[in-house]
Structure 1
Amino acid sequence: MDQWLNACVAGERAYTIIKGTRFQKKKSKKAAKIIIIILIIVIISTSIYDPFYRHLMDEVNDNERRIWCTITYSSNLKTFHSAIHGFHFIAPFVINLVSSIVLITRKSHQQSNLQNDRTYYQLLRQQLHEHKNLLIAPIVLVILALPRLIISYVSKCMKSSNNSWICLIGYFISFIPSMLIFFIYVLPSTFYKQEFHKTIARYRNKIQRSRRVFHLSI
Structure 2
Amino acid sequence: MDQWLNACIAVERAVVTINAIGFQKKRSKKIAKIVIIILSIFIISTCIYDPFYRRLMDDAIDDDSRIWCITSYSSNLQMFNTFIHAFHFCAPFAINLISTLILILKTSRQQAKTRNKTKYIAIIIEQIQVHKHILIAPFVIVILGIPRLVMGFASKCMNSNNDATLYLIGYFVSFIPPMLTFIIFVMPSKFYKEQLGKVWANIKIKINRNFTSL
TM-score (norm 2): 0.91
In structure 1, stretches of 5+ residues that fail to align are none
Alignment partners' CA distance in 2, 1:159 and 1:167 = 8
Alignment partners' CA distance in 2, 1:159 and 1:209 = 54
Superimposed CA distance per residue, residues 18-47 of structure 1 (whole angstroms, 9 cap, x where no aligned partner)? 111111112111111111111001000000
User: Which segment is superposed worse, 9-18 or 143-152?
Assistant: 143-152
| Matched-pair contact (CA < 8 Å) for 2:147–2:171 | no
- Is residue 157 of structure 1 aligned with residue 156 of structure 2? yes
| Residue matched to 1:118 | 118
| Residue matched to 1:93 | 93
- Is residue 176 of structure 1 aligned with residue 176 of structure 2? yes
**TM-aligned CA distance change 1:159 to 1:9, over 3 Å:** closer
Alignment partners' CA distance in 2, 1:100 and 1:127 = 11
| Residue matched to 2:54 | 54
| One-letter amino acid of the counterpart of residue 165, structure 2 | W
| Residue matched to 2:145 | 145
Deviation at 1:112, TM superposition (A): 1.3
Q: Mapping of 1:179-218 within 5 angstroms?
A: 179-214=179-214
Secondary structure of the equivalent of 2:55?
Answer: strand
Alignment partners' CA distance in 2, 1:151 and 1:113 = 49
CA root-mean-square deviation = 1.9
User: Which segment is superposed worse, 167-176 or 10-19?
Assistant: 167-176
Secondary structure of the equivalent of 1:200?
Answer: helix
Superimposed CA distance per residue, residues 51-78 of structure 1 (whole angstroms, 9 cap, x where no aligned partner)? 1112122344554655443322221111
In structure 2, stretches of 5+ residues that fail to align are none
**TM-aligned CA distance change 1:159 to 1:98, over 3 Å:** closer
| One-letter amino acid of the counterpart of residue 99, structure 2 | S
Deviation at 1:170, TM superposition (A): 2.2
Q: Mapping of 1:59-138 within 5 angstroms?
A: 59-61=59-61, 63=63, 65-138=65-138
| Matched-pair contact (CA < 8 Å) for 1:10–1:100 | yes
Deviation at 1:189, TM superposition (A): 1.1
**TM-aligned CA distance change 1:213 to 1:143, over 3 Å:** same
| Matched-pair contact (CA < 8 Å) for 2:56–2:70 | yes
**TM-aligned CA distance change 1:138 to 1:89, over 3 Å:** same
Deviation at 1:145, TM superposition (A): 0.8
| Residue matched to 1:30 | 30
| Matched-pair contact (CA < 8 Å) for 2:53–2:73 | yes
Count of equivalent residues: 213
**Percentage identity across aligned positions?**
53
Secondary structure of the equivalent of 1:117?
Answer: coil
Higher relative contact order (CA 8 A, sep 6+): 2
Alignment partners' CA distance in 1, 2:30 and 2:67 = 46
**TM-aligned CA distance change 1:28 to 1:158, over 3 Å:** closer
Alignment partners' CA distance in 2, 1:41 and 1:151 = 23
**TM-aligned CA distance change 1:159 to 1:182, over 3 Å:** closer
| Matched-pair contact (CA < 8 Å) for 2:68–2:159 | no
| Matched-pair contact (CA < 8 Å) for 1:151–1:166 | no
